[in-house]
Amino acid sequence: MKGLAEEIYHGLEKQGIEVLLDDRDERPGSKFKDADLVGIPLRVNVGKKSFGESGSVELVERRTKKMEKVKASEAVPQIVQWVNAEKAKR
Nearest to residue 32, comparing CAs of 68, 7, 60, 71? 60
CATH number of the domain that residue 58 is part of: 3.40.50.800
* Domain extent at residue 75: 2-89
Kindly state the average pLDDT of the residues 65-72. Answer: 94
- Whether residue 89 is predicted with pLDDT greater than 90 in this model: the reply is no
Q: What is the pLDDT of residues 21-49, one digit of tens each?
A: 999 999 999 999 999 999 999 999 998 77
Decide: helix, strand or coil at residue 89: helix
pTM, two decimal places: 0.87
Q: pLDDT value at position 50?
A: 66
In this prediction, residue 55 has a pLDDT band, given cuts at 50, 70 and 90, of confident
The tally of domains found in the chain comes to 1
DSSP-derived secondary structure for 4-62: HHHHHHHHHHHTT--------SS-HHHHHHHHHHHT-SEEEE--HHHHHHHSEEEEEET
